[in-house]
Amino acid sequence: MLKNIRAFFDGKGVLEVETPLLSRFATTDPHLESLQSRFRERTCYLNTSPEYAMKRLLAGSKRAIYQICKAFRDDELGVTHNPEFTMLEWYQPDYD
């Protein structure tokens, strides 16, 4: 499946990017809870999505980008929800 997704975006000239999974700050989305981690006596947070970092890349590059990555959320667990999951995020400038 990942091979087909990458082929689809590659065929459209969309650039695959990679952003950090670990952040100094928790999500600002009031509906999501970030998972915490520790690094050198500091509290860090696993990303709930790559949205913020990808939008920074989008603003700097002005070209379509996508990412397939792990995301982490500390608020749902069940048959259809897991705290760690794979996410596809895609952005294209000037698209309605």
| Angstrom distance (rounded) from CA 49 to CA 86 | 10
**pTM: predicted TM-score of the whole model, two decimal places:** 0.84
Q: Which spans in the chain are helix H?
A: 2-11, 51-61
Give me the CATH topology for the region 2-91.
BirA Bifunctional Protein; domain 2 (3.30.930)
Instruction: Write out pLDDT tens, residues 19-73.
Output: 999 988 877 787 788 878 898 889 999 999 999 999 999 998 889 999 999 999 9
Contacts of 57 (CB under 8 A, 6+ apart): 17, 19, 65
Burial of 21 (0-12, 13-18, 19+ CB in 10 A): middle
Question: In this predicted structure, what is the pLDDT of residue 96?
Answer: 62
Bridge partners of 35, per DSSP, are 46
**What is the sign, positive or negative, of the torsion defined by CA atoms of 60, 45, 17, 51?**
negative
